[in-house]
Amino acid sequence: MTISVTRTFGETKGRKGSRPLRRSEPENNRPTSRLPRVTKLMALAIRFDQLIRDGVVKDQAEIARLGLVTRARVTQIMNLLNLAPEIQTAILDMTLVTKGRDFVTEREFRKMVELPAWSQQRRLGESFQTPLSADAEQRPPARGRVDKTSPATGLRPATPSARSIAAMHKTAPDK
């Protein structure tokens, strides 16, 4: 006795009927770069501000409720609007991240946001990089931390909050 079974691969059968299998993209078709998270947050802050101005949402508390985040987190994001205009532009124009973690985070801008005058913010942004000390190159990064040294310049930020502008002014290499 011979039994013949015909099965089409590329579909799954289940309680919901037939549906095509999701095929993974080949490695060479996957995106090789992405926007830094702080760039996305800056754009989100601008969008939130516009929603409030247009009356679509009442206030930041309503945004927090709708977004299922805390009011404090919405405030942190919206505080990016208190940065000097050229710093905001630099954040929006940051180069794409090609691998690994972002060079700068939103948390590192919080000290800059606290400064009341844009001139103070600019000054903090201009004094961000210092050369590495000779022994710093030999030391491994602290446990749980990533070495944020720029491979292009061999420099790293002077303070934890200083990483932001250093990354913003780099230009993407032409292909």
Model pLDDT for residues 26-79, shown as the tens digit of each residue = 566 666 889 999 999 999 999 999 999 999 999 999 999 999 999 999 999 999
Tell me: the pLDDT tens digits for 105-120? 888 889 899 998 999 9
- pLDDT at position 125 is 79
User: Where are the alpha helices (H) located in 68-158, listed in sequence order?
Assistant: 71-78, 85-92, 110-114, 118-126
In a domain, residue 43? The reply is yes
More confident residue, 14 or 78: 78
Q: Does residue 69 belong to any structural domain of this protein?
A: yes
Q: Does residue 93 lie within any of the structural domains?
A: yes
Distance in angstroms (rounded) separating the CA atoms of residues 171 and 153: 12
In the prediction, which pLDDT does 136 show? 30
Asked if residue 62 is part of any domain, the answer here is yes
**How many domains does the chain divide into?**
1
Query: Tell me, what's the pLDDT at 26?
Result: 59
Question: Is 27 domain-assigned?
Answer: no
Domain that holds residue 46: 33-131+154-175
169 domain residue, yes or no:
yes
Beta strands in 7-159 (DSSP E): 11-14, 17-20, 129-131, 155-157
DSSP symbol at 25: P
Tokens 């095509």 appear where? 20
Is 146 within the bounds of a domain?
no
Tens of pLDDT, residue by residue over 158-173, are 443 444 444 554 544 4
Tell me which residue of 120, 119, 107, 50 sits closest to 79, measured CA to CA: 107
In the predicted model, what is the mean pLDDT of the chain? 74
Residue 170 belongs to a domain: yes
Q: How far apart are CA 71 and CA 69, in angstroms?
A: 7
* Cα-Cα-Cα-Cα dihedral sign, residues 44, 45, 51, 54: negative
How much is the pLDDT for 113? 92
The reported pTM is: 0.58
CA distance 108 to 147: 15
